[in-house]
Structure formats: structure tokens, C-alpha cells
């Protein structure tokens, strides 16, 4: 099996095992030596040690901070990470939430401050624009366990679930800010799951959008693992956006969609998208994750220097592919949650080295001035199997296929190494290394001890230090290092790169492996057997794919026993998808096999062109002609008679879909668009077989002229509270009469309160509306219980309404009577599935990033 697949198995193992947040075992863990019983009175429980001599030795030697700050640095690393969250400025209740934080919670939590270094229990992060991000002086465990914080914790959970806030580590919010996103940008998030940064990008492009309008921007969120794509869909679904495409590819092999390579010049239409390029690329790569040790303290036990070495080349590959997909004049942000210069400055230096004058490293020190950051390093060393190396020439010959020149500041290799790399094909590097290992008489493949980071005793003869050091000629001080003790956060690394001109082909394909036979490889992997290393110059120009150095990570499997499982590393652990796809494809019926798209296990994206259905929807809801439907409706089922859900896509997404079809469906799309209509059967015999989706209602509301009602605050409150109300039981009798005259089927109820002109309510950003079902005798809401509760609390706070408690056993008795049932036989919104990879049902893991 190819090395790439072995690496995928390793990444899958790390991802599935995860890393338990051990702070939860002991939120008030006693200082070392004081003893004390563990959680739930278990006397045998012992708190995790927050020490690793190899970790301290490594970073002291790298001089990532001045020696006089070392104690402060280490003390902060040993403390639990405070919670942080961000308000979604594009959400409907943005102002209400800001007011609630400032006027209610900020005052009520003042007495709960638990850190002598913090004055406020809750405060805005000073560097985040618009006071949208907030810092809590409480760890996640304190929020769960402290009774005084219970109401605030419930507030956070509820608002996060409905998409009004996102619980995310503070430093994880930094990279998207340096992209300088504009409303018309096409953006690629290369390693996106679980999606907190993707959600942040979506917030940016939607922030100034008016009701009923979509931005021209586009976000493509990619992840290598199909299950993590589900997490990504689950996270971004809260945004209700038509401007998102989720793809499932290896980031380093993200396909290029260049129409000129598939069509003759005579068939190229300049009016349409010709090539998939991006104005902004977020390259938040897989990393060792040691900057998240405050959130995942078991990293202390598992950390070793080999983890960063083992990921270096993959990080370079991903970054180079991102640079190839970036438009000239575009900006790419490279970031990790690691402190290791081999994963950070070394990667940036290699990008600059390969790209030559085509790319520059930007000085962004004037942006976000209140963000405390340190400059990047210009010199560092590489540690391998207990030995320090300052220059690549000092690396033993048998390790030069693993410890590459790009890991060092100069990026220069020895003459011997250059000869080796010329003479050795990729397929025999492992054999070459094994021979040298044998000649040296030691089993050099012995794993490094995870506790000490050193090689076993029989390899101690390797423990020498290179006396020579190098300095990089590139302006790496423009990179940014965020360290924990500056602003009580995690650690992060960010570099902002600007593409000045098309990449020099010789630089772009230096050490690059061409992605071959894509049409035969349904999973998007490069072929296992590449045959000869000789690649034609024409292929080099057409394909600028990044090298998949399969043997390097295989060599480092013993050194990669751990990757961070907090949300950043949960964001970054990249996995192959073959096994999951086999299981999904195993039960396909014959009809689906015949209609199968290019990618096995994934239904194709089909433009919905059933004009009879579309006309019936337009007629039933009175949708204005100004709302564009043609070319914007898609589905995942080729059989239009069995379509369950119809999704709406923006013009930017439509252009990408059309291009993808022309180039042979090179993009493996797992999710896209905004669910706007859903098939609905009912015993009432509705003239329209499709109901409105709650997700799509805000977009469609300004264009609906039929099946729409305007309710008073009290009747709107009753609908949300009781969920089903008979027409005569509404407080406003006229409203009940109007509801009874509607056609049976789906309808919209808009809150009338606070609006002088009913005709302008639908175009008001503050308008509140819900999807309902009009039955023979009653009106029934089609909103999930969670969304209903959120709306109920919001209108109660806004209009000062009291929410009476219901009898839990008979919640509808006051409205429909104890023995009566709602006469709308419908599937409620809380039973809806996420936008699916398959039309069949799929379970989505209920995981969120906090």
C-alpha cells in the first residue's frame, strides 16, 4: 500500500482516538505534592502531570521567548485555557445579544472573578474588530460546574447551537482577520473541519448583506475526511448560507479546474468562469498542536520533537498547492497552532524559496494593533533522534531522506544529499535508508520515547550537537508568533503571503509530483504506482500539484504518536476516505448505481430544471419575478420525481458548478447551498408538494406575496409556545379568520409588532418570521424546538412579554383540548436532516467546538 494511504491511516487513528480534555477530571486540581482526592472522590485518581523535560529543553534551545520570560511562559501553559466566543454580526439578533452581554451578564458576573490577574469576569477581546469576540475569565469546566454561572452557560450553549455565537479559542480567530476579506472575494479554506474559521469567513461575507440579497463572495471549505466534512456541514449549517461549497479532497492535491485544458479555444466562452482561482486562501495546516497544551494538557505526556519533523513536508505541500490556487494579487494566510519553527518559519521560508519573486511575505504589524504578537524567528535548529543539527550538512547520511534541507533556515542541502536526491527515485528511498541503517549496525527505526523525546540507550551515540548555525535570508520577522502569557491565550503562528505574479513553473514544480489519472481515481488520491519519475514538461505546466512525500511520514510514524485533539487539531487531523466510502457505497440500489456521479459514495450535484414543480411553487407562494430561480436550484437526486430537498445556490456557486461540470466533475462536492424547499406530504391535500424551509425563509421572505400572515406579539408568542393553535383561539380574531382562509399547506407568519408599515416588514432586517402549516382547523409551527425557544425568549425580552409555564404532560391542552390532535400531518423541522452527501438519511455527529 502506498505511503500516502499509510499516512492517512495514521491520521485517522489519531483523529478517532481523540484527546480527552483532562482538565475536566479536576477543575480545581491541587498543586503537585498536595495530594487530594480526584473527581467524584476517587482516591486512586491522579491529575495529569504538566511537565515534559524534552518539551522545555526543545523550546529553550529554540529561543522562542527571552530567557527571563521563561517562568511566566511555562506557568501560563500549565493553566486551563479561558473560554472565548464570537458574536455573529450577520445574525438577526446581533444587537440584542450585544446589549444582553454588556448590560446583563457583564454586571451579574462581576462577583465571580476567580483570577487575581483579571479584573473583569467577561470582557471584549480588545484586538477583535467591533467588540464581537469576548473573553471569559472562566475555563470550560468552571462554566459547567459553577452554579452561579449556570444561566450564562445555558445562554452560551443555546446561542451557539442556533448560530448567533460561535465558541472558539481566541487565537483561532486571528488567521481569518488577516485575510482582509471583501464582499466579492472567492475564498478557499484548505483544511476546514470542524469549521469555526469557515463560519468566521461566512460571517465576514454576509455581514453587510441586506435581506433578500446574497453577497457575490464564495467560500469553498475543504477537508480530507468524509466524516469530518459532516462536522463541517453541521457547523456551517447554522449560518444558513447559499455561498458555501464543501469539498472532500487532500489539500495538497486539491484539483485545478482549468477549462482551457479541457476545451479548445473556439469553445471557450469568456463570459463564464474559466478557471477556479481564489482571491484569498486560508492555509491552516495539520500540525503537532503543542500551542493548544492549555486546552489539551495530555500533550505534555505525548509531545516529542519528531511530531513536527514528521509533518513539515506535508505542510509545505499544502501551502504550495494553496499558492498555486491563489490569484495574482491575492493573499494567503499560513497558520498553525504549533510553536515549532520547523512547522512554522521553515515552511514559510520554503514557500518563498520555491516561489521566488512571485510571492512576498507581508508586514502586517500595523493591522490589529492591539493584538500582542512576537516577530518570527530567523534562526533555529532541528532535533532528530536526540541530536541537534544547525545545518543540513551535519545530518547523518542515513537520515537525510527524512530530515530535509527545507527544515533549516537556509534551506540548503549538502552536496551528498543533492546527489542522493538525484540518483534515488522516490520508490527506493525507503530501501536506501534501510541499507544505511543496516550498515551502521543500529536499529535506527526504533521509536523515540514519547516521555523524554530521546532515542533509546542503544542509539545514544547519535546524541551530538551541531556547532554550526544558520540564519535565514528571508524577512521572517514579518511572521507572527502569539505566545500564551502575553494575553492569556493559546499559542499560534501566522504568516501573510501576497502573490505578485504567476508562479515560475520551475519553482512551482520543484520536487512536485503530478496528480495523474484523476478520472480513474474516484477518491481523489494520486495513483499508488507512479512508475517513472520522468514527467513531461507539458504535464508540469498543466498540473502544479504538491509532492506527496509518502516515505517521510512513514519514517516518522514512531515520532507521531500524537496530534492535538483540541478544536484546532481537531480542525487539522487529515484522514483518507476510502474505508468510509466503501461502507456508503455498499448498499446502493440499481437505480442509484446507474445515476451515480463521478465520485463513488457521493451523489452528483444536479441543477433542478423541473419547470412544472418550479411553476407550482412560484404560483403557490406568489414569489416575485425579481427573485432569480433559474440556474440557482440544485438537488442531489438525479430522479426529479423522487427529489426530497431543493437547495438554492448563489451566482458565485452556480458559476463554479457549471465550470466543474465542464471539466469532468473534478471537485468532489459533499455539500452546498441553502435548503429552500422540501417535499411535504399531507392529508390536507395541499396544492403545492413543497414546503418552505426555515433555513431559506430569510432569503425568500421579501419576495413572498401569498400564504403570508402578520401576527401580533401575543399570538406570535402563543404559536411558538403551544406550537398548534385552532383558528378561533387566537387572541386577534381577525388573524384567526385570515389564517382560516389560506390555502391548505405551508405558510409564513410574520411578527407585526414594532412595524408601522406592513408592506415594508419583509424587507426589514429586524423582521421575525416563522414557517407554519395551515391545516383544516388549526395553524401549526414548523420550527425546531430549539429555534422556537430562542425566538420566544427574544420577542419576550424585546416586547416585555411574560412566558407562562406549560403543563409538561399536556403542552397543548389549553389550545387544542386534551383529546384533540393537530390536523396537520407533517414532518416538523426538528426532524429535518442536514444537507446530505446522499439523499438517504445520514447521522451527523452532534459535536461543537468550544
Is the CB of residue 281 less than 8 Å from the CB of residue 332?
yes
Cα separation of 824 and 617, whole Å?
Answer: 19
- Residue 688 makes CB contacts below 8 A (sequence gap 6+) with 616, 617, 620, 621, 745, 746
223 belongs to an annotated ligand binding site: yes
Asked whether residue 193 is marked as a ligand-binding residue, the answer is yes
For CA atoms 304, 491, 188, 241, give the dihedral sign. Answer: positive
Closest by CA position to 566, among listed 303, 310, 849, 286: 849
Using DSSP's 3-state secondary structure scheme, residue 85 falls into strand
Tell me how far apart the alpha carbons of residues 681 and 667 are, in angstroms, rounded to a whole number.
34
Scanning the structure block, which residue is given the C-alpha cell 462581576?
A: 110
Cβ(675)–Cβ(771) under 8 Å?
no
Question: Using alpha carbons only, how large is the chain's radius of gyration in Å?
Answer: 29
Q: Give the Cα-Cα-Cα angle 801, 740, 725 (nearest 5 degrees).
A: 40
Whether 580 has a binding-site annotation, put simply, is no
Given 257, 287, 337, 747, which residue is catalytic? Answer: 337
State the Cα–Cα distance between residues 737 and 749, nearest whole angstrom. 14
- Residue 625 labelled as part of a binding site: no
772 noted as active-site residue? no
| DSSP annotation of 400 | T
Please enumerate in sequence order all residues whose Cβ is within 8 A of that of 321, keeping only pairs 6 or more positions apart, or say none: 190, 251, 252, 253, 254, 544, 545, 546
- Cα–Cα separations (whole angstroms), residue 170 to 458, 730, 791: 44, 47, 28
Q: What are phi and psi of 647, to 5 degrees?
A: -110, 150
Name 283's bridge partners: 334
296 known ligand binder: no
Is 609 annotated in a binding site? The answer is no
Question: Does residue 376 have a known ligand-binding role?
Answer: no
Q: Is 284 annotated as a binding residue?
A: yes
Q: Is residue 453 left, alpha or beta, with left meaning phi > 0 and alpha meaning psi from -120 to 50?
A: left
Tell me which residue of 340, 438, 385, 404 sits closest to 551, measured CA to CA. 404
SS3 state of residue 257:
coil
Residue 14's region, left for phi above 0, alpha for psi from -120 to 50, else beta, is alpha
- 195 appears as a binding residue in the annotation: yes
Feature table: binding site: 191-197, 223, 284
Q: Which residues are catalytic?
A: 337
Sequence ranges of the binding site for S-adenosyl-L-methionine:
191-197, 223, 284
Amino acid at each position: 500500500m502506498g505511503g500516502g494511504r499509510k499516512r492517512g491511516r495514521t491520521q485517522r487513528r489519531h483523529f478517532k482516538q481523540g484527546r480527552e480534555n483532562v482538565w475536566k477530571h479536576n477543575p480545581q486540581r491541587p498543586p503537585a505534592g498536595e495530594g487530594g482526592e480526584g473527581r467524584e472522590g476517587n482516591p486512586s485518581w491522579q491529575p495529569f502531570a504538566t511537565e515534559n523535560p524534552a518539551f522545555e529543553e526543545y523550546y529553550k534551545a529554540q529561543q522562542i521567548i527571552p530567557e527571563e520570560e521563561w517562568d511566566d511562559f511555562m506557568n501560563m501553559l500549565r493553566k486551563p485555557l479561558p473560554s472565548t466566543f464570537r458574536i455573529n454580526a450577520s445574525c438577526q439578533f446581533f444587537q440584542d445579544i450585544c446589549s444582553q452581554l454588556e448590560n446583563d451578564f457583564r454586571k451579574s458576573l462581576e462577583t465571580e472573578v476567580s483570577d487575581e490577574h483579571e479584573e473583569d469576569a467577561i470582557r471584549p477581546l480588545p484586538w477583535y474588530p467591533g467588540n464581537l469576540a469576548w473573553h471569559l475569565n472562566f475555563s470550560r469546566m468552571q462554566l459547567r460546574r459553577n452554579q452561579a454561572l449556570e444561566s450564562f452557560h445555558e445562554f452560551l450553549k443555546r446561542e451557539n447551537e442556533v448560530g448567533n455565537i460561535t465558541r472558539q479559542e481566541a487565537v483561532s480567530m486571528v488567521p481569518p482577520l488577516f485575510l482582509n476579506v471583501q464582499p466579492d472575494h472567492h475564498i478557499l479554506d484548505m483544511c476546514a473541519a470542524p469549521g469555526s474559521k469557515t463560519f468566521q469567513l461566512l460571517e465576514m461575507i454576509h455581514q453587510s448583506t441586506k435581506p433578500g440579497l446574497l453577497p457575490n463572495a464564495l467560500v469553498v471549505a475543504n477537508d480530507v475526511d468524509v466524516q469530518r466534512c459532516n462536522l463541517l456541514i453541521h457547523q456551517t449549517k447554522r449560518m444558513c448560507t447559499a455561498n458555501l461549497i464543501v469539498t472532500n479532497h487532500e489539500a495538497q492535491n486539491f484539483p485545478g479546474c482549468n477549462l482551457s485544458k479541457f476545451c479548445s479555444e473556439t469553445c471557450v466562452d469568456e463570459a463564464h468562469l474559466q478557471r477556479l482561482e481564489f482571491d484569498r486562501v486560508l492555509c491552516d495546516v495539520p500540525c503537532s498542536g503543542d500551542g493548544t497544551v492549555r486546552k489539551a494538557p495530555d500533550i505534555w505526556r505525548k509531545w516529542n520533537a519528531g511530531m513536527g519533523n514528521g509533518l513539515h513536508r506535508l505542510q509545505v505541500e499544502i501551502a504550495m498547492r494553496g499558492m498555486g490556487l491563489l490569484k495574482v494579487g491575492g493573499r494567503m494566510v499560513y497558520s498553525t497552532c504549533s510553536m515549532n519553527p520547523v512547522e512554522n518559519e521553515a515552511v514559510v521560508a520554503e514557500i518563498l524559496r520555491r516561489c521566488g519573486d512571485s510571492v512576498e511575505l507581508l508586514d502586517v504589524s500595523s493591522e490589529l494593533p492591539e493584538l500582542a504578537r512576537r516577530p518570527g524567528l530567523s534562526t533555529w535548529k532541528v532535533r532528530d533522534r536526540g541530536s541537534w543539527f544547525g545545518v543540513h550538512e551535519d545530518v547523518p547520511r542515513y537520515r537525510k531522506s527524512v530530515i530535509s534541507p527545507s527544515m533549516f533556515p537556509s534551506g540548503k542541502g549538502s552536496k551528498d544529499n543533492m546527489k542522493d536526491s538525484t540518483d534515488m527515485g522516490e520508490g527506493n528511498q525507503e530501501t536506501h535508508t534501510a541499507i544505511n541503517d543496516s550498515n551502521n549496525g543500529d536499529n535506527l527505526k526504533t521509536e523515540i520515547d514519547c516521555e523524554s523525546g530521546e532515542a533509546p540507550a542503544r542509539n545514544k551515540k547519535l546524541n551530538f550537537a551541531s556547532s554550526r548555525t544558520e540564519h535565514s535570508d528571508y524577512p521572517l520577522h514579518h511572521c507572527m508568533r502569539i505566545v500564551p502569557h502575553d494575553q492569556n491565550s493559546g499559542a499560534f503562528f501566522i504568516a501573510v503571503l501576497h502573490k505578485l505574479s504567476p508562479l515560475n513553473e520551475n519553482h512551482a514544480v520543484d520536487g512536485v509530483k503530478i496528480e495523474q489519472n484523476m478520472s480513474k481515481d474516484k477518491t481523489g488520491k494520486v495513483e499508488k504506482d507512479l512508475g517513472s519519475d520522468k514527467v513531461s514538461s507539458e504535464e508540469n505546466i498543466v498540473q502544479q500539484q504538491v509532492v506527496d512525500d509518502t516515505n517521510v511520514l512513514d519514517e516518522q510514524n514512531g515520532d507521531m504518536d500524537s496530534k492535538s485533539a483540541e478544536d484546532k487539531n481537531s480542525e487539522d487531523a487529515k484522514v483518507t476516505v476510502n474505508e468510509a466510502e466503501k461502507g456508503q457505497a455498499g448498499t446502493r440500489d440499481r437505480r442509484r448505481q446507474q445515476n451515480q456521479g463521478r465520485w463513488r459514495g457521493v451523489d452528483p450535484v444536479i441543477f433542478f430544471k423541473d419547470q412544472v414543480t418550479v411553476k407550482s411553487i412560484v404560483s403557490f407562494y406568489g414569489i416575485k419575478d425579481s427573485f432569480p430561480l433559474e440556474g440557482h436550484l440544485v438537488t442531489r437526486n438525479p430522479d426529479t420525481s423522487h427529489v426530497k430537498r431543493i437547495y438554492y445556490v448563489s451566482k458565485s456557486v452556480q458559476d463554479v458548478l457549471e465550470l466543474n461540470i465542464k471539466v469532468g466533475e473534478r471537485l468532489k462536492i459533499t455539500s452546498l447551498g441553502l435548503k429552500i424547499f422540501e417535499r411535504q406530504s399531507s392529508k390536507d391535500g395541499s396544492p403545492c408538494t413543497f414546503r418552505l424551509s426555515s433555513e431559506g425563509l430569510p432569503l425568500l421572505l421579501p419576495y413572498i406575496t401569498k400564504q403570508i400572515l402578520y401576527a401580533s406579539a401575543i399570538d406570535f408568542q402563543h404559536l411558538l409556545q403551544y406550537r398548534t393553535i385552532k383558528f378561533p383561539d387566537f387572541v386577534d380574531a381577525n388573524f384567526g379568520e385570515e389564517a382560516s382562509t389560506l390555502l391548505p399547506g405551508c405558510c409564513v407568519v410574520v411578527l407585526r409588532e414594532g412595524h408601522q408599515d406592513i408592506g415594508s416588514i419583509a424587507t426589514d432586517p429586524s423582521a421575525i418570521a416563522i414557517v407554519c402549516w395551515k391545516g383544516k382547523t388549526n395553524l401549526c409551527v414548523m420550527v425546531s424546538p430549539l429555534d422556537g425557544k430562542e425566538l420566544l425568549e427574544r420577542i419576550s425580552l424585546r416586547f416585555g412579554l411574560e412566558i407562562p409555564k406549560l403543563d409538561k404532560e399536556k403542552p397543548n391542552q389549553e389550545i387544542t383540548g386534551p383529546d384533540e390532535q393537530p390536523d396537520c400531518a407533517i414532518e416538523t423541522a426538528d426532524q429535518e436532516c442536514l444537507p446530505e452527501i446522499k439523499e438517504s438519511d445520514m447521522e451527523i455527529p452532534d459535536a461543537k467546538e468550544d
